[in-house]
Structure 1
Amino acid sequence: MIDGHVHTPYCPHGSNAALEEYIDQAIKSGYSSITFAEHAPLPETFIDPVPEQDSSMERSLVEPYIKEVQSLKKSYSSDIEIKLGFEVDYIKGYEKETESFLNQYGSSLDDSLLSVHFLPVKKQWFCIDYSPDVFSAACRAIGSIDELYERYYKLLKDSAHVDLGPYKPNRIGHMTLIRKFHHIYPSPEGWKKQAASFLSVVKNNGLDLDYNGAGTLKEYCRESYPPPDLAKMAYEKGISLIYGSDAHDPNGIKQGYEILNQTLMKI
């Protein structure tokens, strides 16, 4: 069993539990491989829009993070494969800074994801999965939920096409994160057409998808990212679906796994 999306104590909005606790839980859960994909530091000139400004790890902790995971890879080598990576944010207009970061650390990485959390609306940035209130504010600022979905999928397509150098992540994170609050802010009619169009872009760029179980436990989401029909569509296109727990504490290991269609997953 592979889990390609696990966070760590280096995440300021996650758990302080030691990396060993995540690994031990993964072994108990029957994992053969785990990727630690901590939120990479945001570009230095980008201001984190969430109130706590805790969306990513501190830049000063990057090298300690790398060294600790590399050490654990060796000490647990007979029990589980441990991969080192980042969850990298695609932020429109900050591509050069992102590429520079990847060029600096990419040679040390085994596996990473590229995700969209931040949407620009009229010179303001919104973290669209932060809270229902922030999502609602983004809808008002852009004009409608239809426009917000269009902007999100435009950015996802841009992230798939963008040149971030030789160390660009080859997997797109939680491609339907925009639906985190869809039980209180229903998705616009036609949103699946946008998502299906994005799958073609993923396929044409030779990328994989994060088949993310975290949404199944979110109060206003209660589905995987992507949901079952889109996951099946991706599989039928020949896109590799890599299970991701998106765990932010050890208890999150394997979350949503039993609900997901395991026959679609790459193992």
Structure 2
Amino acid sequence: MVIIHDGHVHTSYCPHGTKDSLYKYCDVAIENNIQGITFTEHAPLPPSFVDPTPQKDSGMNLADLDHYIKEVQAIKQYYNGQLAVYLGLEVDFIEGFEKETIDFLNEVGPILDDSILSVHFLKLASDYLCIDYSPEVFDKAVQQLGSIDSVYKLYYDTVAKSIDTDLGLFHPKRIGHITLARKFHKKFPIKAPFTDELTLILKKIKKKGYELDYNGAGCIKPLCKEPYPNNVIIDQAITLDIPLVYGSDAHQASSLLSGYQQLSSKAVLTKPQTLL
């Protein structure tokens, strides 16, 4: 099996990740016949945003950004001819912090090969929550919003807003794990299918000419066991001819290819469009 590209790979620069070296990720990729990878470390969070997670480890330390960029650039040269390596970031869309996000993208965007825009944080009435941090945090959102369905609705509305919001010239062209709200769905089952909300998200992606992160990480999460998004949504994306870029969302080298075998057989996977 040849995997054309893994467009969502984390590194040792992730505070909540592994200590595996970038070399180890690349060697494992080559061993598994992966043709290319994009390192998409969690970008530093906006300076004025207070990370609500206990260890405040959701994003790369700003002080490490330059080291990360230089190391990935060196890795690109080292594996030239063996593996296509791209420099990227996973950027958080955080409602209320758009200006700082634009400033950051304007600074770093010109040197990136690729990037992903993802929603992890939801703005509630009194605070922000990292929706995928744990079942307990998800339940806290349920208690604040009044129902499981309300949490899903807010998540999908925020994803739609991330696509619509003008983040400037370097707005990421791939939208990350659009059904991340389902990470704990076996513990927090929903009543509504949210077909309208997800269809709207896909239509917005299509209209903007963006790509979809077809993320296998959910397949190895015990309370999820499906890709982000699942294959019902992927069928819609295929109908709309939205480019699908596989992402393992690996936080350790051994997690490359996460969920790959569970992806839809109908899906045609591609490299990130910015690199074609």
TM more than 0.5: yes
RMSD over aligned CA atoms reads: 0.9
Q: CA deviation at 1:147?
A: 1.6
Q: Deviations over 1:206-254 (max 9, x none)?
A: 1110000000010000000000110111011010110000000000011
Q: Secondary structure at the match of 1:55?
A: coil
Q: What amino acid is the match of 2:101?
A: T
Q: CA deviation at 1:48?
A: 0.3
Task: Judge conservation of contact 1:5–1:247 (CA < 8 Å) in 2.
Answer: yes
User: 2:201 maps to which residue?
Assistant: 198
Q: Deviations over 1:176-210 (max 9, x none)?
A: 00000000100231323321221111111211100
Work out whether 1:94 is the aligned partner of 2:97: yes
User: 1:121 maps to which residue?
Assistant: 124
* Equivalent position to 1:46, from 49, 62, 73: 49
Task: Judge conservation of contact 2:160–2:200 (CA < 8 Å) in 1.
Answer: no
Q: CA deviation at 1:262?
A: 4.6
Measure the CA separation in 2 of the matches of 1:38 and 1:83. Answer: 12
User: 1:265 maps to which residue?
Assistant: 268
Q: What amino acid is the match of 1:160?
A: I
* Equivalent position to 1:182, from 180, 185, 201: 185
Q: Deviations over 1:12-33 (max 9, x none)?
A: 1000111000000011111111
Q: Secondary structure at the match of 1:88?
A: strand
Q: What amino acid is the match of 1:206?
A: G
Q: What amino acid is the match of 2:190?
A: S
Task: Judge conservation of contact 1:207–1:239 (CA < 8 Å) in 2.
Answer: yes
Q: CA deviation at 1:261?
A: 1.8
User: 1:68 maps to which residue?
Assistant: 71
What does 1:201-216 correspond to in 2, within 5 Å?
A: 201-216=204-219
Runs of 4+ in 1 over 6 A off after TM superposition: none
Measure the CA separation in 1 of the matches of 2:231 and 2:157. Answer: 22
Work out whether 1:108 is the aligned partner of 2:111: yes
User: 2:242 maps to which residue?
Assistant: 239
User: 2:157 maps to which residue?
Assistant: 154
* Equivalent position to 1:138, from 126, 141, 149: 141
Q: What amino acid is the match of 2:149?
A: D
Q: How many residues align?
A: 267
Q: Deviations over 1:10-58 (max 9, x none)?
A: 0010001110000000111111110000000000000000111100110
Measure the CA separation in 2 of the matches of 1:32 and 1:141. Answer: 45
Work out whether 1:3 is the aligned partner of 2:9: no
Q: Deviations over 1:144-168 (max 9, x none)?
A: 1222111111111110011111111
Task: Judge conservation of contact 1:179–1:187 (CA < 8 Å) in 2.
Answer: no
Q: Deviations over 1:99-146 (max 9, x none)?
A: 111111111100100000000111211111000010011011112122
Q: Secondary structure at the match of 1:264?
A: coil
Q: Secondary structure at the match of 1:202?
A: helix
Q: Runs of 5+ in structure 1 lacking a partner?
A: none
Q: What amino acid is the match of 2:182?
A: R
With normalisation by structure 1, the TM-score equals: 0.98
